[in-house]
Amino acid sequence: MLKEKLTLLLIEDNPADAKLVQLALEDARHPAFEVDWVRDIPAALARLSERGVDLIVTDLNLPSSAGLDTLGALKELARHLPVVVLTGSYQEQASGQQAVGDGAQDFLDKQTLDPKRLPRLLAYAVERNERARFQETFLENVNHELRTPLTVASGFLHCLLENAQGTARAEERRTLDIILRNIAYLTQMVEELAEATRAGTGKLTVSVRRVDLEALMLRTAEEFGIAAKDAGITLSVKASPGLPRALADPKRCRQILFNLISNAFKFTPRGGRVALEAKALASDPNLLSVCVADTGSGVPEEARDRIFERLYQARSRAREAPKGLGLGLFICHELAARQGGRIWVEGSADGGSRFCFTVPRFSFTKLLERLLRFDHPDESLSLIECSVLPEEHGMDPVSASQLAAEAEELLRTGTGPEGQLLPDLSPEGVPGVRHVAVRGGEAAAQVIARRFEKALAALHRRRKTGLASGARVVSVHSIREPEAALECQIGHIVTPAFAPARGAQ
């Protein structure tokens, strides 16, 4: 049930556009709207900390953030609030549509705001968000209530299995194995149900960073080593020489691989093969492809276009339809799309299946195209290294994650139009180090680095962590060759050169 009066936070840097929205809503009733107007994300953050709001309406291109980064920042700051984005031109409508796919409730064209329709559209956005939150909360509770007893049961069964030694108890062990497999199957279904719900509400999150796909494939294949031996399947990994790094979420890529390898094992007979391969996509050098090919029964050609739909299950050529919810490949499809890639299936040369997904290639030139003004070849590009958390920080994982998210937003909004927060460049396992690229020489970058250092120190004091942080300029490059110049520095910049001591504020 909607309130009689909704509080709307309007984020718009253009006063004339802000006035258009205010005028379109001033006579609205049932519900009425109270409009609070701010100009940028930092002001919105301050406003959200002061009092609650019911709805956020935002321009995508703001002084402190641009495009879908704006939506990402808002969804991080106000995870449960409905967000409606404003677009100002026909060219921006594609970004608006993508924003809806990433979790916004709707997008509106500033040029066609209708005072009669706008209040109703915004009210519908609030109602849709409330329904989605109810569904999400319900399924999260179901997930929790099912997962807890399954985890307890699994633990006790493992204890019983360890005690069931000797040939006299072989039948008992076999029974316990069957029960454990079924518990693992139920646990997987519960997780798939939760993930599918997040996908349907735009809350299936990804956090992209610089990723070594070959190392990721090797680690994932290692996890399947025992299963491959037990099933009599040969599992191999191959990456093309000099494979570039990817811009992807390593946990989500592993999740896709885990699903595809598990499926391949289900349909590949003893003595068969499952092969993992990564290479640059021939049709688009800006994308990298990862494929899982098997020598199993294959996917019928008529099912290949539908196999990634929610709840769809294809019947294999040689076996009955598999058990399950039919959500695994749907989740893989959503995860690939949210990383800027796609997923598909084709027949393999051995008569089995070949599932492939793509992720973007990591490219400094692509990431920094907003900063790289090639018509000013004498300009410089500086790189600032920010130590958010020392490696031995002693914080619990939840608190550390919350602090890292707040620090990331601080760095993103604090760069201004001349700078840009880069994705995480450090290897997995090197926590708390982020990098910001700034247009300009060392002197200008030093000013921003000192500002970051003070802001991060204030964040640690406010959270009473007892930890120190820091920021410094680590390299300055000519804008003529940013890709080559920055790439050659990676070996140096990804390892923290300084580790502030505990309490050294």
What percent of the chain stands above pLDDT 90?
18
CATH number of 372-493: 3.30.70.60
| pLDDT score of 217 | 95
What top-level class would CATH report for the domain 1-205?
alpha beta
Kindly report, residue by residue over 318-351, the tens digit of the pLDDT.
444 455 556 788 888 888 998 999 999 988 777 7
Q: Which of 111-125, 279-293, 362-376 has the lowest mean pLDDT?
A: 362-376
Domain 209-360 has CATH 3.40.50.300: no
Query: Which residue, among 393, 408, 407, has the nearest Cα to 457 in the 3D structure?
Result: 407
Count of CA atoms in the C-beta half-sphere (13 A) of 1? 1
Across 48-57, 354-363, 407-416, the highest mean pLDDT is recorded for 354-363
Q: Could you tell me the residue ranges of all domains in the chain?
A: 1-205, 209-360, 372-493
The answer to whether residues 359 and 278 touch, using CB atoms and an 8 Å cutoff, is no
The answer to whether residues 244 and 214 touch, using CB atoms and an 8 Å cutoff, is no
Rounded to whole angstroms, the Cα distance separating 205 from 77 reads: 14
Tell me which of 183 and 193 has the higher pLDDT: 183
Buried b (16+ CB within 10 A) or exposed e, 440-477: beeebbbebbeebbebbbebbeeeebebbbbbbbbbbb
Give yes or no on whether 1-205 and 372-493 have one common fold: no
| pTM over the 0.85 mark | no
Rounded to whole angstroms, the Cα distance separating 305 from 291 reads: 17
Asked if pLDDT for residue 46 goes beyond 90, the answer is no
Rounded to whole angstroms, the Cα distance separating 341 from 360 reads: 7
Rounded to whole angstroms, the Cα distance separating 344 from 358 reads: 9
Lookup: tokens for 2: 């909607």
Averaged pLDDT score across all residues of the chain = 79
Kindly report, residue by residue over 270-307, the tens digit of the pLDDT.
999 999 999 999 899 899 999 999 998 888 777 777 88
Kindly report, residue by residue over 238-254, the tens digit of the pLDDT.
999 989 999 999 988 99
